[in-house]
Amino acid sequence: MAGDYASCLLDELPGIENDTAAYAAAQVCGSKFPTRYDGVAQGSGRGFLGYDSGAECALAKSKDTRSNRAAGMIRVACNKLYNKANFFDQFDASTAH
């Protein structure tokens, strides 16, 4: 079971064939995790068994996904979980958590 919005999307979206289903998946994940991306720390998916980058994750998770909307949402979720945090974000009150 997913522990945050981005992980929920990555559980639900791969293989989605149409945009309507992609929107439904985002709605389901949003209802489970109402803070959406605000509840996900940048780079929080990185680790020994994780992907090295958002691009690597997006390639693996979206390559069999026909819906462009779902593929785009996968890319955003992957970037949030697997791209390194920007050092300067810690000084920006709007991005600091």
- CB-based contact 13:78 (threshold 8 Å): no
Terminal Cα distance for the chain, rounded: 24
What are the pLDDT digits (tens) for 32-90?
Answer: 999 999 999 999 999 888 999 999 999 999 999 999 999 999 999 999 999 998 877 66
Q: What is the mean pLDDT of residues 8-25?
A: 98
DSSP 26-95: HHHHHHH-TTGGGGS-TTTT-STTS-SSHHHHHHHHHTT---HHHHHHHHHHHHHHHSPPPGGGGG-TTT
The number of C-alpha atoms within 13 Å of 63 and in the hemisphere containing its C-beta is: 5
Q: Where are the domains of the chain?
A: 5-87
Q: Is the pLDDT of residue 1 over 80?
A: no
